[in-house]
Amino acid sequence: MNFDFTEEQQLLRKTVRQFVDSEIMPFISKWDTDGSFDPAIWKRLAQLGLMGVCIPEKYGGAGMDYNSLAIVCEELERGDTAFRTAVSVHTGLNSMTLLQWGTEAQKQKYLMPQAKGEKIGAFGLTEPGAGSDVASMASFAKREGDVYILNGQKTWISLCDVADHFIVFAYTDKSKKHHGITAFIVERTMPGFSSKAIKGKYGIRAGNTGELFFEDVRIPVENRLGEEGEGFKIAMSALDNGRFTVAAGAVGLISACLEASVKYCKERMTFGKYIGEHQLVGQMIAKMEAGYQMSRLLVYRVGELKNQGVRNTRETSLAKWQACDFANKAADDAVQIHGAYGYSDEYPVARYLRNSKAPVIYEGTREIHTIMQADYVLGRRVDKPLNKMLPKWPFEE
Ligand SMILES: Cc1cc2nc3c(=O)[nH]c(=O)nc-3n(C[C@H](O)[C@H](O)[C@H](O)COP(=O)(O)OP(=O)(O)OC[C@H]3O[C@@H](n4cnc5c(N)ncnc54)[C@H](O)[C@@H]3O)c2cc1C
């Protein structure tokens, strides 16, 4: 396996880093406090080709490989988790799912403008009564001729007020349990659709998260994604891509924790020494570094598996679980290293700690990934190739 980044990937990293340094860093503290950000950021992300970095050029993307998406996520989360979450949802959970499961017409109509950044995509799986236990969802879509009538509610949906298109999951046949769930592409403009932001979040405050409501939303049959009953499988395959981006972002968060902590270690003195010279502080720095390097290896290995077009649910779950746990711990230690100053807005580390918590919950909680890994190792879970796989890279034109 080759661990070197190509020149193109190095340039991509530099571009995103410069963008984060000049267009996110100076404003993020205010956006985080106000719970908002300048929507012009979307246009800039699109101009830089970051809204469809690993989508084939024939569908409006940049045509780069899957590890390039990891680079974008890693660098964006160095700035703030809200922006990486937006790319995770837009590209990882929505666009890549359309690429894998969409019809040619759906790709032309929905994927193309999303990859170009002209439209924004999001993903509605979680419900008030159904998070980890997806099959306990209540949303239902009843077929009547050429349309499905969708009723239900989703919650904790990233980009709820911002996205133009949503991939939404609902039962079409409750008696079939997991096999009775179907995926749909829902447009914000469809009558009966509404959304509402959740206020007072602990972290990712510069991001938009909230509820979706469907009251007799009429969805044309051509907006069904995959076949009836394939929704659960589609949702899980979408999570393989979303989790990859979350794990990559966690690597970026650890690097941000390291950056801030190393700097502070060389500034702050106690007992006549810089605090970095105290062994117990050095130990926290060493653990951050170990978490950073291990997470990176796990993440870029998954990207390579995606490039090869092979199933990677097991490896992605491991990378997401470990990288997010390492990031959460690194952020906690970064606050510790900063002492009381870390507990204020004066330094970014308190924001890192708040932001590091949601990734341990969304796209499979820490506990769900622990169960998955135990199941794989104990032979209770074995993955087979899906009937439709994400295209391998380089893409066929
Ligand atoms: C900021 C943010 C953004 C989000 N964005 C999206 C989005 O864009 N789209 C979307 O669909 N969802 C999104 N979510 C929702 C997220 O995916 C869910 O919160 C997550 O799946 C967990 O579900 P839950 O919150 O209902 O917790 P629950 O499933 O109710 O779990 C509660 C606790 O019980 C534990 N638990 C549950 N089952 C088991 C078990 N079998 N064994 C051991 N422990 C268990 C969990 O690990 C957890 O600790 C987002 C969440 C957040 C916080």
* Catalytic residue check, 363: yes
User: 13 alpha carbon to ligand 1 midpoint, in Å?
Assistant: 31
Domain borders along the chain are: 7-120, 122-231, 235-377
- CB atoms under 10 Å from CB of 241, counted, come to 28
Instruction: Determine the pLDDT at residue 2.
Output: 72
Hey, is 45 helix, strand or coil? helix
Segment (H or E) for 225: strand 224-225
Instruction: State whether the beta carbon of 367 lies less than 6 angstroms from ligand 1.
Output: yes
Question: pLDDT tens digits for 226-284?
Answer: 999 999 999 999 999 999 999 999 999 999 999 999 999 999 999 999 999 999 999 99
Q: What share of the chain is helix, strand, coil (3-state, %, to 5)?
A: 55, 15, 30
CB 352 within 8 A of CB 331: yes
Of the candidate CATH numbers 3.40.190.10, 3.40.50.180, 2.40.110.10, 3.90.1010.10, the domain formed by 122-231 belongs to 2.40.110.10
Q: Which of 38-42, 52-56, 359-363, 367-371 has the lowest mean pLDDT?
A: 38-42
Rounded to an integer, what is the distance from CA 394 to the centroid of its chain? 23
Mutate which of 361, 363, 366, 370 to test ligand 1's pocket (most atoms within 8 Å of Cβ)?
361
Q: Report CA-CA distances (Å) from 282 to 45, 167, 211, 229, 256.
A: 37, 46, 43, 53, 17
Question: What residue type is 56 in one-letter code?
Answer: P
CATH 1.20.140.10 fits 235-377, yes or no: yes
pLDDT in tens, 31-72: 999 998 788 888 899 999 999 999 999 999 999 999 999 999
> How far is 61 from 203, CA to CA, in rounded Å?
30
H or E, element range at 330 = helix 313-338
Please indicate whether residue 89, judged by its CB atom, sits closer than 6 Å to ligand 1.
Answer: yes
What's residue 36's pLDDT?
Answer: 87
Backbone angles phi, psi at 69, to 5 degrees: -65, -40
Per-residue model confidence as pLDDT tens digits over 106-132: 999 999 999 999 999 999 999 999 999
Average of per-residue pLDDT across 70-92: 98
131 lines ligand 1 (CB under 6 A): yes
Ligand 1 atom closest to residue 204's alpha carbon, by position in its atom list: 1
Per annotation, catalytic residue among 363, 367, 396, 397: 363
Examine the pLDDT at 397 and tell me if it is beyond 90. Answer: no
Residues 83, 320 contacting (CB under 8 angstroms): no
Closest approach atom of ligand 1 to CA 201: 1
Neighbouring CB atoms inside 10 A of 285's CB total 19
Residue 1's pLDDT band, with cuts at 50, 70 and 90, is low
Residues 141-187 have pLDDT tens digits of: 999 999 999 999 999 999 999 999 999 999 999 999 999 999 999 99
Q: Give distance in angstroms: CA of 116 to centre of ligand 1.
A: 31
CATH of span 7-120? 1.10.540.10
Give the distance (Å) from ligand 1 centre to CA of residue 362.
5
The enclosing H or E element of 7 equals helix 7-19
Cross-strand pairs, 355: none
